[in-house]
Chain A
Amino acid sequence: MDYKDYYQILGVPKQATQDEIKRSYRKLARKYHPDVSQETDAEERFKELGEAYEVLKDPEKRAAYDQLGADWKAGQEGFKPPPNWNDDFEFTGGGYTTDTGHSADFSDFFESLFGRRPSNQDYGAGVNSRTRPLRGEDSHAKIHIDLTDAYQGTTRSIALHTTQLDDNQRPKLIERTLNIKIPKGIRKGQSIRLPQQGNPGINGGEAGDLYLEIEFNPHPLYSLDGRDVFLKLPIAPWEAALGAKVKVPTPAGEVEMKIPANTSSGKRLRLKGRGLPSQEPGDFYITLEIVLPSHLSAAEKALYESLQQAAADFNPRASLGEQR
């Protein structure tokens, strides 16, 4: 078991006042709240903060933690609390003031010192809560898919960790694998709800629900806006001038497309209904971009020179004013 430095986690010195601890916790909680933060490890950090604050906000627990923590460094392995170390303190069965929603989720380190956090069944009204059926907590997860998955639909298997009570009514961590159908046409920011696939209920209560938020892996070619999909299509100058039939990649497969003659760079073409599938499917937009060969051969250069003479009247900058 690793030793956890709760002061370091909360970013306060060991001699910090209770007010300083509270201020620092609130500030960091806002920063790392998983709904607010963009950091990839936000959820982990937020949990860690909650655990550190649970100990340091309570003067009694803090004193006990200080007594034991002097010789340990954060992350140091092989931590074991000394036998009977907490004889003078009474933690279990009380002292948890609020349900912060992370029940039974603290680290082994925390549990070895302060015992298990009471699970759901200990909250609520007195004796009745022991037998009253309680609905399990909802679970939330993010799921990353590729754009092509959204065109075709896919099945994803995800591993979930949930806590469940064992025969002795102690919470234990269980890994479950779910195969989840991702329907075609799903978009960024949508979620999938799986009824009763969250944490199990207590005393026969129904299970919570599982929510999966959809995120797209960035794609090297395509960008997305709602149901519309965008691609930059490089073309040669003579394709732009003469028109051409080119093969265009789309997430649903290659399509052949006609570039009209006399097309300028930056022109946008639309393939209707080739965006993300749906009852009203999105569109696929192609922005043309004229690209030159990296080197011109002598013959090519000569041809461009005769083109220059033939088109001497053309002023591409006419829209910027006469004299340019």
Chain B
Amino acid sequence: MSLQPLEMSSIVLDEAGILSFAELCRYCSLPAEHLLTMIEHGIIEPHPLASNSARWQFASISLVRVQTAKRLQRDLGVNTAGAALALELLDEVKTLRQQLAALQHQVQAAEHSDD
């Protein structure tokens, strides 16, 4: 392995990028059945257009979500429903933290202007 820094091309995972069902399985090293169970529990959702699973498309950010679910299942011994619940609650906590940070930012700015 080279110790020289390498210039890397990178792929951004976001809402706009698209992955197929097969790509998602491959990148997550998960069997299709496992991923189907996650879809049934709403951990990720295919784009609504295609009904045939061979044509399913997913936002590339789904990859991050599947991996988090996988780690939660592996490390904490929760089942798919438990991982789905944890992910939803984590999303909620994240939104609340962001709102709190924005409010704190406003309060600080207001205090600052009172000086």
Contacts and interface: CB of A to CB of B under 8 A. Distances in A.
Interface string B6-29: 111111111010000000000101
A212 to B, nearest CB: 8
Interface stretch (B35-43, B45-53, B70-78): B70-78
Contacts of B4: 177
B106 to A, nearest CB: 8
B55 interface: no
A190 B61 contact: yes
Given A192-B13, A213-B64, A176 B109 contact: no
B16 to A, nearest CB: 8
B96 interface: no
Interface size on A, as a range, is 35 or more
B29 A190 contact: no
Interface in A116-167: 135, 138, 140, 157, 164
B1 A33 contact: no
Contacts of A178: 5-6, 8
A29 to B, nearest CB: 6
Interface residues of B, number: 40
B67 A211 contact: yes
Interface stretch (A85-93, A180-188, A253-261, A312-320): A180-188
A315 B63 CA distance: 58
A100 B74 contact: yes
B90 to A, nearest CB: 7
A191 interface: yes
Contacts of B71: 33-35, 101
A63 B64 CA distance: 41
A49 to B, nearest CB: 10
Nearest to A30: B76
Given A177-B5, A178-B5, A179-B5, A101 B74 contact: yes
Interface of A: 26, 29-30, 33-36, 46, 100-101, 135, 138, 140, 157, 164, 174-183, 186-187, 189-195, 197, 200, 209, 211-213, 218, 223, 225, 232, 234, 279, 289, 291, 294
Interface of B: 1-14, 16, 27, 29, 60-61, 63-64, 67-68, 71-72, 74-77, 86, 90, 94, 98, 101-102, 105-106, 109, 113, 115
